[in-house]
Structure 1
């Protein structure tokens, strides 16, 4: 985990559950603001929110102090994504690139829509099933422009640099060549994953076509610049918590004592909620083989 560790507060699958981050020195940090965007050159850090094949919609809590990972809640209930045939949960390790922000006040020149107010999303296509809260290094290959309820929601396609086949992937065309059907499955998943919740299919810019590495890198660079404005209080972040412990010059930078107090203010109790029909046993999901997935996809 590149020197990072995590600390759970409260029980998984509860409204109170939070996963806080620590650096190599044991200091509490924000995965949104304190983990660097770059791991090395054009290799990026990725915070894994949702391990592949799992259903709980976990996310960086952008409005909470220190931005721990929590489970999304809709209408007072914990949120799970349905198994949309032939897919089982999320079909990649899903997460975010730190120190990026899709500014809701900025209309993207390519999509004509404003940002979704979150860090930029990443789909890791490597073979390893990662752990929630793991920080991995990824090589960017391309991007898909999802339009989610009128907002631009970029999905970066990347591969874990520790994957045995990472050296064979350098652009989106390599994914199409080496993992046939995977990009099509990705579009299908994002198009339909909200339909079981009674929502319409999602739409895409560029007719659902993927853009390559250079385009994706430019999108990430733009969202990093927007984050710089956010953390320096030069852009309106609304309810977003910009509390951090390492960003030099940021008016939101706080002491480790305050950071520790923010963590300790979060409950450690609370009952574990039923996980719902989509998740029979969350503790086993990372070890289960994917259900109802064609053989060509089960190896990705």
Structure 2
């Protein structure tokens, strides 16, 4: 399945939105309408790229907006950028999420003892290519890290684009440790420190910051898919989440969004205009002595 993008508003501003269309030109939700599996028999998953490697703008699927476009996160009324914490520049992987997954905030994980973070499950894609924002790629899971963010479980899948020239060499988390020594340690370091410049404490991790392997990662992904199924079938209260979709829910469901309704959602946003200049402060770097 191929997807196209429709950008609206001004990039790096509060009104920027990136909407998705399927191969038929129908507006869709990247949260609900893109299948989780690219190839279920091989456990190959679709990944929506939110943040390309080396960039700082914290883009994310807008889970609380109709059609769930990609937008820039907001903090204190301003668009949000992640800081450069030595020795890193922006995100050190292509960062995104697996569609049709959801970390249920009412479910306490038996391994971490913490509830889910109310978002699709995150992926750090470690291939050689710098992907594009909104790109939908096919990834295989190699392992997973259990970050604890303000008392919530925030799983980080480590994956690689199956079309990457290095993909054949990476089949489990041990391959990352062997072929890219230091990368997993840098990943833990990045997630531990990235909020510190904002005045927040270091993040913590379950399993003493150790990565679990491929099988464990696939189990967690499948569990979050079950939670999503309960969400989209209205077995669980969606709260502030917007579950409108054009492909999954049957006509007559409160979550069903017709083509005309979808077009109206997009038309109700600002037209695409010149992107805003990224503030020079985004290039500032921070050094912290590790505890």
TM-score range, shorter chain: over 0.9
After superposition, the CA RMSD in angstroms is 1.6
SS of the aligned residue for 2:100 comes to: coil
Query: What is the match of residue 32 of structure 1?
Result: 31
Residue range with higher mean Cα deviation, 10-19 or 266-275:
266-275
Partners of 1:188 and 1:237 lie apart in 2 by 33
User: Any unmatched runs of 5+ in structure 2?
Assistant: 287-291
CA displacement at 1:277 relative to structure 2: 2.7
Partners of 2:174 and 2:180 lie apart in 1 by 10
Task: Report if the CA contact (8 A) 1:66-1:244 is conserved.
Answer: yes
Partners of 2:224 and 2:39 lie apart in 1 by 18
Query: What is the match of residue 264 of structure 1?
Result: 267
TM-score of the two chains, using structure 2 as the length reference: 0.93
Q: Aligned pairs, how many?
A: 281
What are the within-5 Å matches in structure 2 for residues 108-257 of structure 1? 108-249=109-250, 251-257=254-260
CA displacement at 1:273 relative to structure 2: 4.3
SS of the aligned residue for 2:85 comes to: coil
CA displacement at 1:271 relative to structure 2: 7.7
Q: Return closer, same or farther for 1:183/1:262 CA change in 2, 3 Å cut-off.
A: same
CA displacement at 1:267 relative to structure 2: 1.7
CA displacement at 1:254 relative to structure 2: 1.7
Residue range with higher mean Cα deviation, 142-151 or 265-274:
265-274
Partners of 1:149 and 1:276 lie apart in 2 by 28
Partners of 1:74 and 1:272 lie apart in 2 by 19
SS of the aligned residue for 2:264 comes to: helix
Partners of 1:156 and 1:75 lie apart in 2 by 29
Task: Report if the CA contact (8 A) 2:83-2:282 is conserved.
Answer: no
TM-score of the two chains, using structure 1 as the length reference: 0.91
Q: Which whole-Å deviations, capped at 9, do the CAs of 1:193-216 have from their partners, x for residues lacking one?
A: 001111110000000000000100
CA displacement at 1:251 relative to structure 2: 3.9
Query: What is the match of residue 286 of structure 1?
Result: none
